[in-house]
A and B are shown apart, each in its own frame.
Chain A
């Protein structure tokens, strides 16, 4: 059965080598990984030398070398595994320098000692079989060395097991279990039993013991992210184990079959090698096709290599370029899940402790987390694989969530980012987690800003709605007011007409009496009828004023311009009022411009009314002195001023002087029957023709009223007014 045990050794060695290489290649620069690889190599060395040390077919020198090496490798292995345990558990740097020196010195001393006759004094050889060893005096020290070193390893891992939590604890547990199992088996079979009984028949069990250790480590790799090994590697480890198992099984079947079919006829070495090779080939090819296709798909679909900086940059760009909350959430989540190859993700945004927005990526979860559940996950980052068994881990597992991040800024909690499995089924790598930590902070700030922006938008909408509502009501009120205004105008128009008809008769017949159409009147008759006539006149004028005001407010004030000789017009008005002025003992003076002027394009009738009004007022409100009318005209403008030395306008009244129905107190006293419409209408007439009113006054000293009019119609005057009147 020499060949069979060789086959077993080869498989085990290959298995060890692969595991060691995977670990090393995962992170070549990490000393922990390097030490693990060295440890695995020294175990392989021990396995090989242990196998050949029993074989006496080699020359004596080679047999001697093997038998020295078989003791040297455990020394080295013990050294590497001790350093590994210290580094892995993070205790190496805490050790005092003398301790580190002692470890090196101990190993060095023991290596030297193992190479001398002090340990292996001689070999017991029978034929081609080395069946025993003559132990030298240093043997107890050798045992002590191994016990101390491996003992330390076990103690270190036990301590670490107590101090660690979560996934790390699980990993250490498996490593520890592997170490304990393999150490105890190897020490019993390969050290204690041979030493005590001098029986080496069981030392072939030693190699199997290392399977416990490597098996434990493999399990930790596959299930618990030991050494941060990616899934392809983890899966490969599983394949290696499978192949090894298959190869052993096939080998056993082949050997069993050959023994049964050809009893008494042992297979020779060449045949054995062929069978072993075939069984290995079968085992390998059985899986190779599947493995190749799986590798291919891995490379195409689950390629989760990415550039952290790129992902972060893209992510920042999204956060900066968007302000709308829903779009930010959608884009950010999509980018994150696509770049990191995550099956599904969720962002929940909170507002006042209630879920405000939810965004999904990938398949929808069967059930959403509710607020009390989420409250349990209120940590900056929770990774389900690393959580100790408990409420939170169960909760996350139930929802298929591998990572939960509470998004928060310094001031407030914003929501949660929940991520499911990776598409590859892989666990989240350190790179993923680092990126998530960076992105999580940025996302929290961006979400907070977007939320504020969204709330402002919503507020704007309600505000707009309120404004629209208020405007609508105002519009209705305005329409109602316009209707009322029109009704008022119609009423005034009708009332005026109805008042004017009897007034026409009263005024007409009174005028005829005065004119002698009813015979000669006595002086008192003439006087009294004259009063009645004057009052009827005033009433007619009052009605005209009222109508004009009503028309003005309805926008129906019509300006009709025609070429007018201003000098002629002003002279007419002055002549008409001269009697009135001289009757009061006031001088009425007209300062006409020296040369003849071209006609001005103005509304003659209305402007005449204005001029008359100014002069009439000036005479009324002046007790003594003069009223001077000054006319001045340029080709563009005509300027008229009526200056008096009358009572003037009090400062308080100046501002409202041109308002409808307004009358200054002192004017009220002098002329109680005034309507307060004259100046208001004057201002409208002047301004509707594109002109400006001139007014200045000092109370008690006198006033100046006047206007400046453009002599040619402007766009703002006649045409415009025509258009509006129709």
Chain B
């Protein structure tokens, strides 16, 4: 039947309906039901103008929960006579046991009100809940719901240690068809660290010979404190098809509406055991772990890096492990890397691996040992602390060039740009506009080396000229030579002093006039002194007196200080 024909048929039905007076009936699918069960109430209109029946259920809501369950329209042609009917269904869930009467109900159809016959319903008490599926060993939990649809909340370990994993499983058992994924509200888990676990696939379980579809969700919980902790209720909001909905030839126009069931688990209480008194070095790692430590080489040049890889893997919450650190290494410079954590969720257990690298640079040559790395953990299965210990790392370090490794090389990343900072030292101020005075001061000094050079040249020339004349040098040193004789005569007696004074004067005259010192007669002396413009007489007289004292000691009473007198004569002779 194509759509056009169907629409024509419906039009005809509608026309026919107007011609026939509406007849309204009310019926239930069963008159006995258990508490928690449900009754389908159907209001049916035969004929009429095509309107659906409506009823006021205020009087019923005291004893029943009333939920709409959809509408249906039916058309039939019998012996050429076309009839139509329209139904509206309601699900009634009795709240208590007892005998109840539905109606008479006032049904409104197209502005007219019809009254139905009363219907008697007997509600019996529900049987005890179905035997819960057997819990596996060590599990604890509870079950709520009916025999066809119930929920079970269990924990795998009701007496865990602090920080030991407790797996909470919420399982939904249903014999009904689930029309949609149940709405799930997680339980409150105050006092736990919480990690989601992957949900198992939908499976079928047989409980007491009855097959159920089982939906399960899991949560890994880690109690953070000892004592009683409670996992709150989880809520499952299910929409199920329990088979109460009738189907007809035109039901493909309708979407199955089913009915809604809200299930709540009961809170689960667990008793968390405190950890035993911890040994030194325990940072809180609870779980089943193993430690691996290895170096990338065992022979290295001093100053070159050695990489030590540390891996701690197993089950447990990695957050409890704490910092992995090498023991103090005075012979190495240590550069630890960032820790890398990879969390796994295998078979409902939270675990994973912590990896960390240490780059060690040996500071001296020789056989060096990296002591074992230790991690203290608590093993819930063994109920004791365990010290995980890596192997000691022996290194043969050969002397290097002294250059120390400084980590991997790379371009320096410029993180920001700004001006350089101000100068803080004491400046040397100068007048504004004065840019050259300091330079000019240096330039003003330039004549100095020039003058010095000129002076040196001049002096050198003079000395060269003078050095070539031995007579001149003898003459120049005449006074110096004579005076040295006089100084040497200091402290001698008068006769010796007179002799030395005479010798000094004669030496002076000989040097001054380039004469041989031996055989210098008074006439020669007089001749040269006179020729030089000197008065020779006092000198000759002094020389006579000296000779007299020298050769006639009786004269020693007179004569005075010959050395001083000789000095005076020298001064007179040196005068120009």
Q: Do A and B come from one complex?
A: no
> Which residues of A are at the interface with B, using a C-beta cutoff of 8 A?
none
Interface residues in chain B, defined as those with a beta carbon under 8 Å from any beta carbon in chain A = none
